[in-house]
Amino acid sequence: MSDTLHIVCPSCFAVNRVPAERVHEGPNCGKCHQPLFPGHPVELSEASFDTYLTKNDLPVLVDFWAPWCGPCRMMAPAFAHAASQLAPRVLFAKLNTDEAQQTAARYGIRSIPTMILFHQGREVARHSGAVGTAEIVRWVQSQL
């Protein structure tokens, strides 16, 4: 890790510079004063997706899902629990593929739920299908 990390605020999407040694102290956004690590996955949209992925220095795990998808709804609590276990080393986000069809198409999402791990805007790994908390944590850790 470098001395300073760029962390995108999950509330206002402003880019914050955070000293690496202070990441574990629960820093707040300099602009809106909301927590940079809220302890749950961040809801992304077409407009916020690229900023959140490319401006963060930390890896971002995105759950591509839809509200009508039973396995997606079943996996949601496990995804949220994994987010609390891996924070602040990994950021967690969700993208509703019904509302963000262009982004889902750009990443070739053909089945949901699909998780994609990104680092600095580039895809690092992909996993399709619903899994539990322990499997999510193990899979992410194996990719880092």
Please identify every residue annotated as catalytic.
69, 72
Q: How far apart are CA 54 and CA 60, in angstroms?
A: 9
Q: 119 burial class (0-12, 13-18, 19+ CB within 10 angstroms)?
A: middle
Contact 85, 32 (CB under 8 A): no
